Structures are given as structure tokens and as C-alpha cells.
Amino acid sequence: MLSLYTLLVFIFLLGPLVIISITSFEPGTVLKFPPEGFSLKWYKNIFEVSAFMETFRTSIVISLLGNLLALLLGVPAAYALSRYRFHGRDTLNAVFLSPVLIPGIVLGFTLLRYLIVVYNLPIVAGLLIGHTVIMLPFIIRVIASSLENFDFAVEEAAQSLGATRVYTFFKVVLPNIRSGILAAILIAFLESFNNVDISVFMTGPGISTLPIQMLTYVQNYFDPTIAAISVILMVLTAALMFIIERLMGFAYFTKR
Amino acid sequence: MSLLSLEHVSVAYDNRLILEDFNLSLQKGQLLSLLGPSGCGKTTTLRLIAGFLNAEAGNFMFSGKDYTKVPVEKRNFGFVFQSYALFPHLSVFDNVAFGLRLRKLKEAEVKKRVNRMLETVSLGGFEKRLPGALSGGQRQRVAIARALVIEPDLLLFDEPLSNLDANLRVNMRVEIRRIQQELGITTVYVSHDQEECFSISDQVAVMNNGKIEQLDHPANIFKYPASEFVARFIGFGNFIAFDGRNDEGADIELSRGELKFQAAKRPGGEGNTGLLGAIRPDDLQLLGAGADMGTGTEGNALTGKVQVSTYLGRSYQYQVETELGVFTVNQEMEQPFIQGQQVTVYFPKEKLVLVQ
Ligand SMILES: Nc1ncnc2c1ncn2[C@@H]1O[C@H](COP(=O)(O)OP(=O)(O)O)[C@@H](O)[C@H]1O
Ligand SMILES: [Mg+2]
């Protein structure tokens, strides 16, 4: 009985993904299920619509640059939050994690209101800042959780052997949280690359990210191109999740 | 002249003073233990010496120089942590080589010294292993090798054996003492285990509440604790509060109301101050009521009744109720006393010490 229930939930969750995957091979110009044949035509179309390729490139660049910025801010922050007991530590913890708690729409609108409207930042800069902000909490959380397993006496051991604090950080601390950092990068990348709610406010004439471009596309066309892109993104996401799972353990996805 | 001295040092955590006007000195080549209950400030003292902590006041002198402001990495002290604190990502060889490489030694020299050190701690053949693939005892030896290979001017141990099981603890402490003496390395060793401290130390400092209560050779502390705290900590389970003493004769004459006791003076004369008599359960003697105790034993005895008798394996332990309270006596015997039996508790004067 229970297993039947589980099966239903499973179908409910995975069903749409399966249907999308199947319909992406539709040879006709209208998305339908079941498809009337098998064709890779719409996959080819992705590469022929220049807007997809451009926004894909923008998405990649923004995600990678934002990732770098978030790492530069997040690694020291995670380190300080794990290493030291200080006044306001809990408050800071809450502040760093707040973007996870605040609805993306609110954050996106706020960023638009201030970065773009008040400070007149170029769209790319606004987009980059927005994405850095959404990646930061993930970076901090994943790295802090991998620092939790790090015995800081090891750091002191290095210093007693003659290492400076900086040398110790790079040669002892970083190598021990390498997999955590890699996982943080991948998780943050997924978070940023798939983001809609912030990007939708921060894109403008001539500059857009792939998910926003997809939204725009479905408003105008109903061919299976979007299904084809979705399949590609799903495969990519699954591959990254697999790597993250290898690095951090499955538990990461189940705790929030 | 002493190699190391802490002079009027104070240390605080969050404005709470842990050490206050703390003084300690140590001769070159000696092993000093800091012994005391958990929370008394042993680790704090050790971390201050290592340079992980800053003093609020006072100086740390080492080898005639003021080390108070010298940073950890410039001190050249070896530190062995309770958790071993090995570098998890480095092999045994690279762990031990870490300090040597920082000293810019040629790789051939590094190799030579690391291998020699690994032989010294009996870890030849383990070079390529990661710390995760070692037993507790092996990790401990890597930690010791890593601290020793840099030829430190001072070696610091913080409860290095507390994570090992009992047999290994005994072996390792002998090993630590052997290496320390072989290399003549000045050492400060922290533990809450008195047997461990007494067995390996030249000097033991018994600490209580951020203060050193007594600093002496282990044998002297064992026999002549200076304070009630030290006496209790090292197993003097029985106390008598006297109300008078007279030091004029060959022995110290003590009184408690009508009762008279004698305590032998300590050879050399010092110590034995105070009015509180202390004696170990092992040193008290139990005799059947009315037994002849021989001449010269008048006084130094109390009559009482056995309350509880428990079997300890090598001896029996009795709780004996007397007019001065309950005394604990350990005694080997073939026919043990039974509960309720009238007995005499005898206090050999050589074993009765006076503490503050
Ligand atoms: N990092 C710290 N912050 C605040 N108090 C501390 C800290 N470390 C130790 N203490 C306090 O200082 C006292 C002495 O601690 P410690 O030196 O570790 O004792 P021991 O090593 O003898 O067990 C204890 O009361 C302990 O609670
Ligand atoms: Mg301690």
C-alpha cells in the first residue's frame, strides 16, 4: 500500500521530466505527446538560434565570474565563522544565509530598485552582483560545513612547526577542504545557472541569461526547442549533482 | 640559571582571569609535569608557553631572552596535541618533514632526518601511510616525531596519552621519557593522571585553580604533600585536624583534645607545616581490639568499629568509625575483619604528614 503511494509520488515528480524528454524528439513544429516520430531537429535548432548561444555564453560567464567573487568573499567568511567565537557571530551567520530565506523575487526587485535604478549600474554589473549574492550563502554554507570536520589544532601544529598563518591557510587548511570548495563551486553554479527570479529583474535590452531567454522564447513559439534545451540542462544538472554527491555525500541535498 | 621562566603572568579568557601572577621556572634538560584536575589551567599554561595565547601581564623568559612577544612560528618549540593534530592530507613522511621543509633544508637532508626520526619512534616502513590509516598509538608517535625532528628548544605535551588505552599508555610514557632523556630535550608535560606524571618527571607542579600548589621532585610530593589539596589529589584519603603542635622534640608532638599523636620530622627539616594531619589508606594499620602494639607506639592510635569492608583484590578496604570520624584503611590479610568488629587504627608516625 505504502509502496504504491511512493510509486504515485514518484510518477508525479518524475512524470513531467519523462514526458518533456520524450516530446523533445518530436519531428513536428508543435510540442505534443506522444510524439509522432523521432528527430533531433529541435536539438539542432538550439544551436541555430543565435539568442540561445549568446545567452548561454552570458549565463556561463556570469555564473563563473560570480562564483569567483562569491568564493573570494565566502571562503574567508566561512573560515572566520567556523574558526572564531566572537560577538555577533550568530547574527552574521543569519545575515549570510538570508538570501536563502528571502524570496528571490523580493531580492531581485530590491537589487533592481537600487543597483540599476538608483546607482545606474550597467546591466551586466547588476547581473553579476545579483548572482554573486545568490551564490554566496551556498558557498559559505558548504565550506563552513566542511570546516566543521577540520580540527583547528592542526593549524596550530603547523604554526608550532614554523609556518605563518597565511602559509598555514594555503598549505594546510585549503587542501583539507578541497572537496568542500569544489562542491561549493558546483552547487553555487547550479543555483546561479538555473536562476530565474533574480535574473528576470536584472536583464535588459541585449543582455539576458539562458533561462530568461527560454521564457521569452516560449512566449512566442510553441515548438519543441525548449523541451530539447530542458533535456540538455537536466542532463548537465544531474551530472553536476552526481559529482557533488561524490564530494559531499548525499546528505547535503536532504538538509536545508 | 633556569632555561624557562614565567614571571608574574596573568591570562584571561573573556575577561575571566585563569592564571594570575603565575610563576614557573625550569632547568635545561628537565621534564616538568603540570598535574591537576581538569579545568585548573594546565592547557592554558602550556599554550601560553607555546605562544598560542597572549599574557595580559607578566613576562615569559626563555634562554635569557624575552619571548613574551615572539610569535609561535618563531619560537622553535615542539607541541604534541591531545588530538595529535596530524596533517590529514599528508603522508607520515610529509607530516614529519613539514617543519624541516619550512626550514629550507635540502631534500636529501630532510629525508635523512625524517627517516632517522621515524626509526627512533619505531615507525620505519610507515612513511607512505596517511594518518587516517594509522592506529592511535602510531598517530601519537608520528606527532612526537614531527615535533622532535625540528630539534626544538622546548618540547610541550598536552595530555598526549589520554586517547590511548591503558596498556599503550604505559608503554608510550616510557617511550616518551626514553626519547626525552636520550635527546636531553627540555620538556613541559601536561596530564591529569598522577601516575603518568610521577613516572616520567624530574619535577611535578601540582596545580589547582590556576595556581601551583606544590612544585617538587615526584618522590617528595608523593611522600610530603604541602597542602590539603595536593594530599587529597594524590591519594591521602584520611585527615585529622589537630589543635596543637610542639616541634621541640625529635618528633612533632600533636594533640587533639586529650588525644596525643606524633609525626616524624622530615629529613632536612622543611615541610610538615600546618595542623592538618594526612595519611594514605595504605599506610594506616588495623589491629584487633586490645592487640599488643609493642613499645614506643603509645598514642597514634584510635579505637573504632568496622563499618564497611570491601575486597579490592590485593587488599581489603575498610571504613572504620572512630571518635575522630571515619577512616579508610587498605590492608592485606588472611583473616579479614568483619563488619561491626572492634578494631584499633594505628597511625605510623613516619607516614603521618602535616599539611596546610
Ligand atoms: N577558549 C576558552 N575560552 C574561555 N574559557 C576557557 C577557554 N579555554 C579554557 N577556558 C577555561 O579556562 C580554565 C582552564 O582551562 P584549561 O587550561 O583548559 O584547563 P586544564 O587544561 O587544566 O583542564 C577552565 O575554567 C576553562 O573553562
Ligand atoms: Mg587541558
- Answer whether B99 sits within 8 Å of A162, measured CB to CB: yes
Q: Rounded CA gap, A249 and A17, in Å?
A: 24
Closest CB to A151 among B85, B102, B146: B85
pTM across the whole model:
0.83
Domains of chain B: total: 2
Domain boundary among B227, B259, B288: B227
With cell 529583474, the residue in question is A201
Q: pLDDT of B301-356, one tens digit each?
A: 888 889 888 888 888 899 999 988 899 999 887 778 888 888 889 999 889 999 98
Same-domain pairing of B159 and B270 = no
Same-domain pairing of B147 and B199 = yes
Domain boundary among B193, B227, B261: B227
Which conformational region is residue B65 in: left (phi greater than 0), alpha (psi within -120 to 50 degrees), or beta? beta
ipTM of the predicted structure? Answer: 0.83
Tally DSSP H helices, then E strands, for chain B. 8, 21
Closest CB to B89 among A151, A164, A175: A175
Q: Count of alpha carbons within 13 Å of B195, Cβ hemisphere only?
A: 6
Same-domain pairing of B54 and B163 = yes
Distance from CA of B98 to the nearest CA of A (A): 7
Same-domain pairing of B159 and B128 = yes
Question: For position B105, which CATH number holds?
Answer: 3.40.50.300
H, E, C per residue of chain A: CHHHHHHHHHHHHHHHHHHHHHHCCCCCCCCCCCCCCCCCHHHHHHHHCHHHHHHHHHHHHHHHHHHHHHHHHHHHHHHHHHHCCCCCHHHHHHHHHHHHHCCHHHHHHHHHHHHHHHCCCCHHHHHHHHHHHHHHHHHHHHHHHHHCCCCCHHHHHHHHCCCCHHHHHHHHHHHHCHHHHHHHHHHHHHHHHCCCCCHHHHCECCECCHHHHHHHHHHHCCCCHHHHHHHHHHHHHHHHHHHHHHHHCCHHHHCC
Q: Which range of residues forms the domain containing residue B291?
A: 229-355
Q: Rounded CA gap, B348 and B330, in Å?
A: 14
Q: pLDDT of A66-122, one tens digit each?
A: 999 999 999 999 999 888 888 888 888 787 777 677 788 888 888 888 888 888 888
- Answer whether A157 sits within 8 Å of B73, measured CB to CB: no
Same-domain pairing of B77 and B17 = yes
A158 CB neighbours in chain B (<8 A) are 87, 98
**For B77, which residue in chain A has the nearest alpha carbon?**
A160
Same-domain pairing of B119 and B156 = yes
Same-domain pairing of B167 and B274 = no
Ligand 1 atom closest to Cα of residue B190: 21
Question: For position B346, which CATH number holds?
Answer: 2.40.50.140
Closest CB to B85 among A156, A162, A175: A156
Same-domain pairing of B222 and B237 = no
Domain boundary among B207, B227, B247: B227
* Domains (range + CATH), chain A: 50-254 (1.10.3720.10)
- Answer whether A162 sits within 8 Å of B87, measured CB to CB: no
Q: Rounded CA gap, B283 and B105, in Å?
A: 57
Q: pLDDT of B205-248, one tens digit each?
A: 999 999 999 999 999 999 999 999 999 999 998 999 998 888 88
Same-domain pairing of B89 and B174 = yes
Same-domain pairing of B175 and B216 = yes
Same-domain pairing of B235 and B273 = yes
Q: pLDDT of A193-237, one tens digit each?
A: 988 888 888 887 778 888 888 888 888 888 888 888 889 888 988
- Answer whether B85 sits within 8 Å of A161, measured CB to CB: no
Same-domain pairing of B163 and B146 = yes
Interface check for A149 against chain B (CB to CB < 8 A): the answer is: no
Say which residues have a Cβ less than 8 Å from residue B61's Cβ, sequence separation at least 6: B4, B5, B7, B67
Identify which ligand lies nearest to the alpha carbon of B11: 1
